[in-house]
């Protein structure tokens, strides 16, 4: 895109004239947009929900395209600091529903703990907002089914914050695999590291500046433990899924982008802590996932962090520091230019390639606003992200049940296993139900 972002009124009118989608090839789409005269229009209003570290990162990246007009966070200290960081002009709220009610909010950014993602996306979409939400997308598989239905019935654009899709290293790796540079894909290994351990932790009175009841949302109401909140919520199954969903939402996403199939069999192994009032995600974990097309995915909590692709003609490794293998070396003699990439059909080739978290998020956020303007599907779509985190959830369910599971990816149910199917959803606290 060039110049300031258009207002939602302008580009919705444009989308309506074109039936909601641009049909020209992606190169022509952006060339045409750049050739057209730009008119001075009002900027988009951006509202941000959840303003600790990652929330502030994505909000800063969104400033190029809109004005930060509202901030919501259940921690008064966090929201007041965030307002000061963004020019002291945004209105601040404890309850995100008050932010969604504002007419000057066109776009919503969500960087809350995982157990809030689904409900906030649904509420924002129903309020007429376009949404950028952090990963992992859901807390349960059934949440993803609900999200797919709600988003599919709306005209809203939703981008998931799996920014590795906008990192040039990961993007190149996927393209090399999908275009046969390692031959027929046979096996993928996605490695992270182990979950932290900790506890027992002490309970405390809830701080006056923190709305603990609202923070808990759909989850069970329990005494306040500081280690349950803010960053360390990741190590409690009540709110997240440990590194299986935290890092898996990134690495398994890239793996499945290349695999181009869905899981049918999951065999998870794990060892769990038994510390009262302590972190309760697995201390050691792993899983073997078999896909309908015959590819095998190994999920490991040790080894070199990253993704190893193995084909019948070679191997390729990628992580946040490198992309390496014979296919990469051969690019000098057999290049693969960006205009021949196939994994995503709506590239803005005027954006320079970027690698590394903070830089890649620039392009990821840019893709989101490109799609807002053109009403296209973002590079991290709801469907892809739902399928990614579903695989993470499947692995966690297999680990917690202690046995292999067979999965029907079309019906999104376990085959012949009523007990496992009860794990597709969780009981939700009254007043915070999702639907």
Residue-wise pLDDT for 24-48, tens only, equals 333 334 433 333 333 334 799 999 9
- Whole-number average pLDDT of the chain: 92
Indicate the Cα dihedral angle 161, 348, 316, 295, nearest 10°: 70
pLDDT value at 276 more than 50: yes
Residue spans of alpha helices (H) in 272-429: 326-329, 357-374, 382-401, 418-421
* Residue 391: CA count within 13 A, CB half-sphere: 33
Residues 6+ apart with CB under 8 A from 30: 348, 349, 350
pTM of the model: 0.91
Q: Which of 240, 54, 266 is nearest to 138 (CA)?
A: 240
Query: Cβ distance 46 to 67 under 8 Å?
Result: yes
The better pLDDT of the pair 18, 121 is held by: 121
Number of C-beta neighbours around residue 193 at 10 A: 12
Residue spans of alpha helices (H) in 260-381: 326-329, 357-374
Query: Cβ distance 264 to 300 under 8 Å?
Result: no
Mean pLDDT of the region 162-187: 98
> Tell me, what's the pLDDT at 42?
73
Distance CA 273, CA 198 (A): 9
Share of the chain above pLDDT 70, in %: 91
Share of the chain above pLDDT 90, in %: 90
Mean pLDDT of the region 95-119: 98
> Tell me, what's the pLDDT at 31?
35
Mean pLDDT of the region 181-205: 98
pLDDT digits (tens, 9 = 90+) for 113-152: 999 999 999 999 999 999 999 999 999 999 999 999 999 9
> Tell me, what's the pLDDT at 11?
38
Query: Cβ distance 62 to 90 under 8 Å?
Result: no
Distance CA 184, CA 170 (A): 19
pLDDT band at 352 (very low <50, low <70, confident <90, very high): very high
pLDDT value at 4 more than 60: no
Q: Which of 342, 174, 367 is nearest to 254 (CA)?
A: 174
pLDDT value at 20 more than 80: no
> Tell me, what's the pLDDT at 385?
98
Distance CA 16, CA 11 (A): 8
Hey, is 288 helix, strand or coil?
strand
pLDDT digits (tens, 9 = 90+) for 207-241: 999 999 999 999 999 999 999 999 999 999 999 99
Query: Cβ distance 62 to 361 under 8 Å?
Result: no
> Tell me, what's the pLDDT at 29?
41
> Tell me, what's the pLDDT at 419?
98
pLDDT value at 177 more than 60: yes
Distance CA 24, CA 30 (A): 10
Residues 6+ apart with CB under 8 A from 379: 159, 165, 166, 344, 346, 364, 367
Mean pLDDT of the region 321-334: 98
Distance CA 41, CA 9 (A): 10
> Tell me, what's the pLDDT at 435?
86
> Tell me, what's the pLDDT at 222?
98
* Furthest-apart CA atoms within the chain: distance in Å: 65
The better pLDDT of the pair 340, 6 is held by: 340
pLDDT value at 92 more than 80: yes
Distance CA 310, CA 270 (A): 25
> Tell me, what's the pLDDT at 409?
98
For the chain, the residue count is 435
């Amino acid at each position: 895109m060039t110049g300031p972002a258009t207002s939602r009124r302008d580009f919705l009118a444009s989308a309506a004239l074109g039936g909601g989608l641009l049909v020209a090839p992606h190169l022509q789409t952006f060339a045409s947009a750049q050739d057209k005269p730009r008119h001075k229009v009002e900027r988009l209003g951006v509202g941000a929900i959840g303003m600790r570290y990652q929330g502030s990162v994505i909000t800063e990246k969104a400033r190029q395209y809109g004005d930060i007009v509202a901030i919501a966070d259940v921690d008064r200290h966090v929201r007041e600091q965030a307002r000061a960081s963004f020019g002291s002009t945004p209105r601040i709220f404890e309850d995100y529903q008050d932010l969604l009610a504002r007419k000057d909010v066109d776009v919503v950014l969500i960087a809350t703990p995982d157990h809030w993602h689904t409900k906030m996306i649904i509420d924002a979409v129903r309020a007429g907002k376009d949404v950028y939400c952090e990963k992992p997308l859901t807390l349960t598989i059934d949440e993803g089914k609900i999200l797919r239905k709600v988003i599919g019935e709306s005209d809203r654009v939703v981008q998931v914050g799996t920014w590795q899709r906008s990192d040039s290293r990961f993007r190149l790796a996927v393209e090399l695999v999908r275009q046969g540079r390692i031959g027929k894909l046979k096996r993928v290994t996605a490695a992270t590291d182990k979950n932290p351990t900790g506890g027992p932790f002490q309970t405390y009175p809830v701080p006056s500046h923190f709305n603990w009841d609202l923070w808990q949302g759909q989850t069970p109401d329990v005494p306040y433990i500081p280690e349950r909140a803010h960053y360390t919520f990741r190590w409690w199954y009540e709110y997240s899924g440990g590194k299986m969903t935290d890092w898996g939402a990134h690495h398994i996403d890239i793996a499945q982008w290349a695999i181009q199939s869905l899981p049918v069999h999951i065999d998870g192994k794990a060892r769990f802590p038994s510390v009262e009032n302590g972190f309760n995600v697995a201390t050691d974990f792993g899983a073997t996932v078999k896909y309908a097309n015959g590819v095998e995915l190994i999920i490991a909590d040790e080894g070199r962090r990253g993704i190893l692709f193995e084909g019948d003609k070679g191997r390729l490794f990628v992580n946040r520091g490198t992309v390496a293998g014979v296919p990469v070396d051969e690019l000098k003699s057999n290049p693969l230019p960006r205009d021949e990439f196939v994994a995503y059909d709506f590239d803005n080739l005027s954006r320079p390639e970027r690698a590394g978290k903070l830089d890649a998020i620039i392009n990821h956020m840019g893709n989101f606003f490109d799609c807002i303007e053109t009403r296209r599907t973002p590079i991290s779509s709801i469907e892809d992200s739902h399928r990614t985190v579903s695989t993470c959830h499947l692995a966690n369910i297999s680990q917690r049940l202690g046995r292999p599971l067979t999965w029907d990816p079309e019906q999104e149910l376990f085959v012949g296993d009523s007990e496992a199917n009860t794990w597709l959803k969780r009981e939700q606290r009254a007043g915070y139900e999702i639907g």
